[in-house]
Structure formats: C-alpha cells, structure tokens
Amino acid sequence: MPLSHRVPDLAALELLLAVVRLGSVGRAAAELGVTQPAASARIRSMERQLGMALLERSPRGSRPTQAGALVAEWAQQVVDAAHALDAGVEALRERRDGRLRLAASLTVAEYLMPGWLVALRETRPDTAVTLRAANSTAVAELVRAGEADLGFVEGSRKPAGLSGAIVSTDRLVVVVSPRHPWARRRSGITPEELATTPLILREEGSGTREVLDRALAAHGGVAPPMLQLASTTALKGSAVSGAGPAVVSELAVGDELARGRLVDVPVRELDLSRPLRAVWPAGTRPAGPARDLLSLCRSAPHAPAH
C-alpha cells in the first residue's frame, strides 16, 4: 500500500537524527553540508508534516521532545534500512559490471570486435568479457533468451523483439580469383549476371545472405549457390582457390585484395551496403560495461582490425 503523506523524506530523517546525536541544528547542518537556516526550515517543515513538535530549542542547543525521541528511534530504523538497500544495490551493480556477455555476427566478431574490446579494457580492466560468434539470426536469439547482454548483427532490419542502434556500416563485395573471367571485367557485372550465377555464399540466417537476397529480389533472386559455407574464412579460401565468385564483407577481404589474391568485381547499380547494429532486450537500456562498449563502437573508426 502507498506510504502516508505524513512520512518525511529520507534527508529530513537523517537531519533529525544528526540533531539528536549532536545536540545542535547548526552542528547537524555543518555535518550534512547544508546551511543552518535551511536545516531549521527543514525541521519546521517536518514538524508541520507530522503535526507535532520534535525539538526543544534553547540557547544551549536542541534536544528532542518526548515525541521527537520516539520519531528519531523509528527514523533510525528507516535510515538503516535505506543504507542496507543502497549497499545491496551497489553489490548487485558491481557483480553486473564485473562481466559482459557478448554475441556477435562472424564479421563483427572477427574484424571489428578485437579493436573494440582493446579499447574497452582500457576503461574497464576488471570486466570479464565472453564473446560468442554466430550468424545474425542466432545472435538475436541469444539476446532474446537472456544469454547475451549485448549482441551485434548485420542486416537491413532490426531483429524483432529487440531494441538496437546502428554502430557502424559495411559493404558486401563480389570477389573472384585473379584467374576468373570476371577479374578482367573493368566495367563490372550487372545485377542480373550476379543473380543468375551460382555463387559461394554464407548460410541462410546470416546477415550477409539476408542483404544479398534483399538486394537481388528485384532481379530474379539469388541462384542456387555453388557452395554454402558457415565460415567467412572457408568462403574466402574457396574464392582464392578459383572455385567461383564469392559475396563477402569488405571488412573480411582487405588483406586478400591488397595482396592481389582476390579481385573486387563491381556490380553496376546495385546497393550492397548494410548497417552493423548493436541489439539488446526491448524495453531496457544498456548499462555498465555494455553501455561503455556501445559508446566505444559508435566512436571507433570503421576499419577492419587486420
């Protein structure tokens, strides 16, 4: 049931206890860091609220009335309970801040998360971090199930039932071995050519696959894949070996493109950009180390950690 309007607030009760203990409104005000007029006004307001005198004032100081002594006894129990509550909440906060459970899509986990975690460790060296790498669909499920405090997914849409914020951007690229015929196509390929060619692709449920499926929906959809792989490393290796064209995050192939092991094939008039999004349970806000990591992600350069 709601508290009576006659119950004073915690600050007023603490002031009353200080006056009873120190025998002076002035000394109590100094201890609590308020002015004596403000302390006197608060005592008078509390007396009006309770409908009784709490202190007997004299040139030698202040002492509690009979009613004031009883109120002070009860106030001590309230203040002690408030301190116990505060200590308990602080203990919970410290336990929560001592760990951070993350889940991230493979691209984010491999190419962006290392740099973000190094920066987080500088501000929170005592936080124990665990990271689970999975495709975007699985990451969303882990966050919904309460098995991850914060998730990072790829794709054009925020997963249902989660709150989120875009923290970075990425672009999918079509890459081939230098020996592939497309490597000599200076003008690139059309969306229709990409749609009708069997490709080396990530599995369904990955953010990479979702973005490609959506981009090619108006061009006949994605052809049955040549290979469907759950690992970005395996996908790159297959493309380097000459097995066929692969669609992969630009973040993942920086080294291979720089060394000439893969060639980036432009796709004319096709937007393959995608947001990278942090997600967390709907109706909540990231707190503690999750909040700090989210801030670091937003301010960090959007470059792969080679």
Mean pLDDT for all residues in the chain: 89
Amino acid 305: pLDDT: 38
Spatial separation of the C-alpha atoms in residues 190 and 215, rounded to whole Å: 12
Report field, pTM of the whole predicted structure over 0.85? no
Q: What percent of the chain has pLDDT over 90?
A: 67
Asked if residue 133 is part of any domain, the answer here is yes
pLDDT tens digits for range 26-75: 999 999 999 999 999 999 999 999 999 999 988 888 899 999 899 999 98
Q: Which of 96, 115, 147 is the last residue of a domain?
A: 96
- If you average pLDDT over residues 84-101, what whole number do you get? 71
pLDDT band for position 180 (50/70/90)?
very high
Q: How many domains does the chain have?
A: 2
Range of the domain at 111: 100-299
Spatial separation of the C-alpha atoms in residues 305 and 86, rounded to whole Å: 42
**SS3 call for 121:** helix
Could you tell me if 55 and 174 lie in one domain?
no
Could you tell me if 233 and 107 lie in one domain?
yes
Could you tell me if 78 and 151 lie in one domain?
no
Contact 105, 209 (CB under 8 A): no
Asked if residue 4 is part of any domain, the answer here is no
pLDDT tens digits for range 272-281: 999 999 999 9
- pLDDT above 60: residue 247: yes
